[in-house]
Chain A
């Protein structure tokens, strides 16, 4: 199977603290990680390869330092990686990002399945993968918690994890899926994988390599823009200690939670 894993390098939100807020995290030089949901999509891709043979290619749109995220993918077990990077691409909306990805995917050639994480923890739009599928005119299944593929019949069957339950979906390939954390447990990079990743040369494709021009990407090519990003308002928490023996306190707490319609 020819498998494409979409990954993104995002700010490390574990660094959020009283002195490091979200705006600081978005700034230059702050710690970056592989989007946590994309570790699950990488693991899904690698498991598919292990089960059915083939190749996993990880692709990522980002600044040059995003090669670190791609190297993590290689170290986990992806076979190849491609960085899509160009200053003109910065601040693209999700649709423009999807168009860029589609051009890269077309340049890569045939594929069976594209796998991404359910959303990126910075933008959190959960839209890009859907738009990629629409632009490629293939089906898209989101919130996948279970996946089985049959390369012989070129079909997949998936279970989607929804708030109200679980939904089984079948689809022909090629398709785009996005996964949730319930699908697997991402492996740690192995020492062999790390050696391979450290030696890997990752090609970088810019605007011109994809047959695009600057007017089609970035703010110029986008329909949505973000004029302002603000921190949420500070909430003063009110703390009440419920006194009493544990059983008594638990009952009082439960009554209060019901009264407040929390449970």
Chain B
């Protein structure tokens, strides 16, 4: 069993962290303070290949594997969660689902402009009255000829007001509950489709979070993803992708918090000596490192499972639950190490604390994941093979031009 990153992965890790240091860190604090989206980063993320890192080259992607996706997520969120959210949503919750569930025609049509950043995408599942209770959604899709007509509202949607492509879910057969949901790809500019931004969030200020309103939006059959009434399974498989990026990103948050805390603890003196020499500070530092070591192991294993094409819903859920809670605890401890200075946005740690609270809520609350894990343990939840599984990573296929 080899726990080392291979040479390729090590170079990717270095490149992503260099990018985060040079491109994101100089601008993110101001965007966070002003609650503005860093539009200037999108073309840079696209040019570097991050928006399609684990998509095959034939679809405009970079042809890398799922461990690379984890490393990109970690490095970007080391700088700020809002940047990783773009990757999680655009790639994890929109492009990868098309890669997994789309027809050949849909993959050829939709993926290249997504991989290159020509289109920016989001994922509309949550509603004002339906978060954890996905099946409780009230969005509806009725068939009329060769179109579906969509009505409903989605809320707390990352990139809602930035995206021009939307993967949304609506009930085509409300009587069937979760088995009556269908997935659709919508395009900005279609009649009846409007979006807006939600202000006043506690954190991820540099991320765009908003709402999507659908008022008699006509959606052609060509834009249905998967089969009718297959949407719940599609949505859950989307979460398998994004939860992985969230878990990996949380490791990045923890690494940033630890680095900042170590630096501060070495420099700050009280009673004549650096606070790094005090045991209660050392305890917090040791716990941060422990959380990083554990989180990293879980994330690497999930990436490995995805590379093998093995269903990993349970492992991804566990990694997401653990890493996001660990990141929140680590950020809190990091502020404690910094004392009063940690409470000021002059230092990065308070931003990480505000950001990390969102991650224990979205992509399945910690409570939902605990219910899932208990169900797995008691045998009440057994993952069955999906009609379309996320393909195992095959370097030859991924790197071929076509």
Interface residues of A (CB under 8 A from B): 17-19, 71-72, 75, 188-192, 194-195, 197-198
Contact = CB atoms under 8 A, between A and B. Distances in A.
A201 B40 CA distance: 38
Interface in B237-288: 263, 266-267, 274
Nearest to B21: A14
Interface stretch (B8-16, B98-106, B140-148): B8-16
A194 B399 contact: no
A75 B11 contact: yes
A191 B53 contact: yes
Nearest to A193: B11
B304 interface: no
A197 B8 CA distance: 8
6 contacts: A71-B7, A190-B49, A191-B63, A191-B68, A194-B15, A197-B11
A192 B57 CA distance: 10
Contact of A195 (B19, B266, B399): B399
A73 B14 CA distance: 13
Given A188-B19, A188-B48, A189-B15, A194 B8 contact: yes
> Chain A's interface: helix, strand, loop or mixed, by majority?
helix
Contact of B11 (A17, A18, A19, A71): A71
> Chain B's interface: helix, strand, loop or mixed, by majority?
helix
A246 to B, nearest CB: 18
B6 interface: yes
Given A191-B53, A191-B62, A191-B64, A198 B8 contact: yes
A75 B7 CA distance: 12
Interface in B2-47: 6-8, 11-12, 14-15, 18-19
Contacts of B14: 72
Contacts of B49: 190-191
Given A195-B399, A198-B6, A189 B11 contact: yes
Contacts of A191: 12, 49, 53, 62-64, 68
B115 to A, nearest CB: 12
A197 B274 CA distance: 43
Contacts of B6: 198
Nearest to A14: B21
A88 B15 CA distance: 33
Contact of A194 (B11, B263, B267): B11
Contact of A188 (B18, B64, B263): B18
B91 to A, nearest CB: 14
A198 B263 contact: no
Nearest to B52: A191
A21 to B, nearest CB: 13
A47 to B, nearest CB: 16
A190 B48 contact: yes
A75 B8 CA distance: 10
